[in-house]
Amino acid sequence: MRIVVLVSGSGSNLQAVIDAADADELAVEIAAVGSDAPGCGGLAKAGAAGIPTFTVPLEKGATPNRRAAWNRELAASVSRHSPDLVVTSGFMRILSAEFLSTVGVPVINTHPALLPSFPGAHGVRDALAHGVKVTGCTVHQTDAGVDTGPILAQAAVPVSEDDDEASLHERIKVQERRLLLETLAKLAAGELTLR
């Protein structure tokens, strides 16, 4: 299964996928890694592994017309690598309906909360602010909403009384990596079907 991975940050989930694929523990080929953030850690990890990379930056405060053009540019960059699946993990941008229809393959996303609770860019912070005793992570199929697509897998993570956002997020990331690898393995084996 050929995948394109989209990242905005350090690429810790990407590294887990690279390692599992290199160890023949995951039947995927990472065709390329793309980002909206030039110089991010995820691009460096991909480059170190010899994986092609591309960047389609989007300036802060972009107009709706610029955002639409960016989605088209990103879709064209992804499509050049002929993926069977797109994985967004730590990719901090909302993909438009036009992007999703243009790439023409399913897109899955990891999210650091138990959706439908705490969608959006601050799932860990929002869970702490709400005072929940259990949070977690979700792998879901991406639609044009904000973390609203069909849920594929979830894992719970207890919240400790002394947790801050950073400590809780680190524990969530451990489960997020495991869940992403399990989901990709099921997709590659045909045990899980996407719309």
111 annotated active-site: yes
Q: C-alpha angle 57/166/53, rounded to 5°? A: 25
Identify the CA nearest to 91 among candidates 175, 6, 174, 149: 6
d(CA 165, CA 152): 25
Cβ proximity of 33 and 7 under 8 Å? yes
For residue 126, the number of C-alpha atoms closer than 13 Å in the C-beta half-sphere is 14
Task: State the CB neighbour count (10 A cutoff) for residue 194.
Answer: 14
d(CA 154, CA 138): 4
Backbone angles phi and psi of 154, in degrees to 5: -145, 155
Cβ proximity of 130 and 118 under 8 Å? yes
Strands 134-141 and 107-111: antiparallel
Q: Write down the catalytic residue from 81, 111, 122, 140.
A: 111
Residues belonging to the active site: 111
